[in-house]
């Protein structure tokens, strides 16, 4: 059985069918191009470390993380030169993630090819974000 190649959308974002659970998220990460795949694996591992049993889904070609009954608090996707992590209630995190958004509550963390992920800070943001109301996307 031949596997259909994953289509990469603009910026190299993998086109993955909507789905719930770890399987579609892992399919998305496996399809992330080049160095971005290692970033996706690292983010997924850090999120699972911070919130064991976190709910996962892929919607709009983006992996989302949340808690059952509380909504989605984080997502990430590929852009041409970086991976964009979005915290749905990022403006309530301390310190706030550095990237601003047109949406007042959302904050971003952009990860470029040679960036080191500050694991302690990222885990802290994930734990804080998981305590806030998430989005029902």
- Evaluate whether residue 3 is within a structural domain: no
Neighbouring C-beta atoms of residue 114, cutoff 10 Å: 6
* Dist CA 112 CA 116 (whole Å): 9
- What would the mean pLDDT of 7-15 be, rounded to a whole number? 86
Tell me the CATH number at 42. 3.90.1150.200
Strands (E), 35-131: 55-59, 62-67, 71-78, 82-87, 107-112
Domain residue limits at 65 = 10-130
- Evaluate whether residue 47 is within a structural domain: yes
- Evaluate whether residue 137 is within a structural domain: no
**How many folded domains does the chain comprise?**
1
- Evaluate whether residue 32 is within a structural domain: yes
Residue with tokens 């302690």: 120
Confidence grade of residue 134 (pLDDT, cut at 50, 70, 90) = confident
- Evaluate whether residue 4 is within a structural domain: no
pTM: 0.93
- Evaluate whether residue 136 is within a structural domain: no
Classify the phi-psi angles of 104: left when phi > 0, otherwise alpha if psi is within -120 to 50, otherwise beta.
alpha
pLDDT in tens, 45-90: 999 999 999 999 999 999 999 998 899 999 999 999 999 999 999 9
């Amino acid at each position: 059985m031949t596997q259909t190649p994953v289509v990469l959308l603009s910026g190299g974002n993998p086109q993955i069918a909507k789905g719930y659970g770890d399987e579609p998220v892992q399919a998305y990460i496996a399809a992330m191009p080049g160095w971005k795949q290692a970033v996706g694996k690292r983010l997924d591992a850090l999120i699972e470390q911070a919130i064991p049993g976190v709910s996962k889904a892929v919607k709009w070609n983006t992996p989302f993380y949340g808690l059952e009954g509380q909504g989605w608090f984080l997502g990430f996707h590929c852009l041409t030169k970086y991976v964009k992590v979005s915290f749905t209630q990022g403006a309530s995190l301390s310190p706030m993630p550095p990237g601003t958004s047109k949406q007042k509550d959302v904050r971003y963390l952009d990860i470029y090819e040679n960036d080191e992920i500050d694991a302690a800070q990222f885990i802290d943001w994930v734990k804080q974000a998981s305590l806030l109301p998430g989005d029902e996307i």
